[in-house]
Structure 1
Amino acid sequence: MIKKIIVMTILLFLIGCVIEPREEIQKENVNDTQIQAGEVIVKESAVEEKSVDIRRCNDGTLYNECSVQKPYYCLDGNIIKKASVCGCPKNQIASYENCVSAFEITPFEQTFTYTLNGRENSISLTVYKELNDFLSAKPRKYYCNPECPSSREIEMKYIDNTEQKPYMKKLVSKIKSKTSDKKEQARIAIALVQRIPYADTERRNNALTGRYPYEVLFDNRGVCGEKSLLLAFLLREIGYGVSLFHYPEEKHMTVGLKCPLEYSYQESGYCFIETVEPIIPTYIPSKYVDIGSLDSDPEIIQVSEGKTFDISEEYSDARELKRINSIGLVLQPKDYAIWRDLMKKYGIYVRGRLFFR
């Protein structure tokens, strides 16, 4: 019995010699830290980290680094332009340390004339070769993958191009500067686009490319569809409801201006506005060169919602001109006087020149 007690004592001593050092190691591992709810809490005995002073400019940019807004750079607490280091935004290029538009390298002035209430006036606009070249290089093809784009998607791609929009709005601003009357602004836009020369040479040589509205302004010429897209943009920005009348069979396009139903084309709610040459709004020519009359029903492509234009004055003038034109070449003095006044009021061409010139 005494032997068993001695053996048990020896075993316990040996076991104690093995376990105790492991407990000491565990204590050493947590000597400077305590584990509480999964977080490490540093005791006072731990070495404290030194705070680092991170220096930034007011916009949050670190010292000696580029801002997220190119070409700005943080130098000694000041934001400066440094295009040589930080680069420029899309469609801009470096000029010394500044960024300038890549579309505004070669400017020149275009002048657009118009007739409003019998008085001729003009608007000058600075246009740029680089923007025109950029738009000219854009592909004109559309692919069906698997569905084909709608007519509206195709036309709106030309009207809503983001690169041309700010430059087109400059023309809108110049139109608005002529008068605060929205109706008069719309009349200026219509007359101005009608006076842009028709691109007859390209049409006859089958060299039509489908210009963007800005290209029409740059070239100061365009065909029916191109000029219609330009006018649609201007009228929309002025605030009116706009559509396009597309005649696939006749290969023709005009603008539809939102108007009272009784004056509208085919009770569509939009009045017929020809853009090829100066002509009274709502007047529909009986025949066109090369295409004859517009016999088919057009596809109506809505461009925008907007204000309704009170076109009663133009509608009355158009009916009067239709009546006089139906008489023939010989007019009575009274009818001739009415015809002459209408030609002057709208700046309508006669034999290739403005009647009142």
Structure 2
Amino acid sequence: WSYSVSVPETTYKRCQNLDHRSRNWDQYTNDKSGRLYLSGLADLFVRDGKAAGHDDYDIVMNAVAFVQSLPYTSDDVTTGYDNYARYPLETLVDNGGDCEDTAIFMAALLREMGYGVVIVEVPGHAAVAVKGGDGISGRYYEYKGGKYYYLETTGEGWPIGQIPDEFRSVEAKIFPVSV
């Protein structure tokens, strides 16, 4: 499975010239310049997943596998800055990023696919949680009456609901991703 997209350099540069110091996750996940490309990718996951007979869990896991396959790249090496949060389009074009970059990308992609999602921040790390029902096993956060299952975006093979040991007993901050 592959996805090819041609992004105009001016669009990519626009993302690079935006504010990257903010910790307002919604600023990144809702950036309009990359939404068209994310929407196309989201449509592909949903359409192909349904055509293959996959349920929602498997459709989400296909998107998760895609994001988890992106190489981990630290900000100081790739940008020369510490804590440089990429916009979703930057992560797609750059083919990777660190934890907050892939969390932002995953949250924006799942939102485009029609799923409820929040950003999860624990000391020194960012991840995602996707809204799910009672039939899903694993760790979740209760937020505004819903269950949001932890989703690790760095490294391959993390299923929905599996949280790394070092983050199981630490307090997490939950940040909504608006529609």
Q: Which TM-score bucket, shorter chain as reference?
A: 0.7 to 0.9
- Name the CA shift for 1:141/1:281 in 2 (closer, same or farther; >3 Å): closer
Residue 202 of structure 1 pairs with residue 76 of structure 2: yes
Offset at residue 270 of structure 1 (A): 0.7
Offset at residue 161 of structure 1 (A): 1.2
TM-score with structure 2 length normalisation? 0.81
Partners of 2:21 and 2:151 lie apart in 1 by: 28
The one of 113, 119, 122 aligned to 1:244: 119
Aligned residues: 168
Asked if the contact 1:135/1:212 (under 8 Å) is kept, the reply is yes
- Name the CA shift for 1:141/1:182 in 2 (closer, same or farther; >3 Å): same
Residue 135 of structure 1 pairs with residue 15 of structure 2: yes
The one of 126, 134, 141 aligned to 2:6: 126
The one of 170, 174, 179 aligned to 2:44: 174
- Which stretches of structure 1, 4 residues or longer, exceed 6 Å deviation after superposition? none
Counterparts of residues 251-330 of structure 1 (less than 5 Å): 251-260=124-133, 263-268=138-143, 269-278=147-156, 279-287=158-166, 293=167, 295-304=169-178
- Name the CA shift for 1:281/1:165 in 2 (closer, same or farther; >3 Å): same
State the percentage of identical aligned residues: 26
Deviations 1:263-302 (A, max 9, x none): 4425551101000111222112224xxxxx4542111112
Offset at residue 128 of structure 1 (A): 3.0
TM-score with structure 1 length normalisation? 0.43
Counterparts of residues 326-337 of structure 1 (less than 5 Å): none
The one of 56, 61, 65 aligned to 1:191: 65
Partners of 1:182 and 1:202 lie apart in 2 by: 39
Larger radius of gyration: 1
Asked if the contact 1:182/1:238 (under 8 Å) is kept, the reply is no
- Name the CA shift for 1:182/1:166 in 2 (closer, same or farther; >3 Å): farther
Counterparts of residues 36-115 of structure 1 (less than 5 Å): none
Provide the aligned C-alpha RMSD in A: 2.5
Higher strand share: 1
Deviations 1:31-76 (A, max 9, x none): xxxxxxxxxxxxxxxxxxxxxxxxxxxxxxxxxxxxxxxxxxxxxx
- Name the CA shift for 1:127/1:254 in 2 (closer, same or farther; >3 Å): same
Partners of 1:201 and 1:139 lie apart in 2 by: 15
Offset at residue 229 of structure 1 (A): 0.9
Corresponding residue of 1:47:
none
Give the secondary-structure state (helix, strand or coil) at the position aligned to 1:179: helix
Asked if the contact 2:43/2:113 (under 8 Å) is kept, the reply is no
- Name the CA shift for 1:182/1:238 in 2 (closer, same or farther; >3 Å): farther
Partners of 1:156 and 1:218 lie apart in 2 by: 20
Partners of 1:237 and 1:182 lie apart in 2 by: 17
Q: Could you tell which deviates more after superposition, 251-260 or 132-141?
A: 132-141
- Name the CA shift for 1:252/1:165 in 2 (closer, same or farther; >3 Å): same
Higher RCO by CA contacts (8 Å cutoff, separation 6 or greater): 2
Give the secondary-structure state (helix, strand or coil) at the position aligned to 2:165: coil
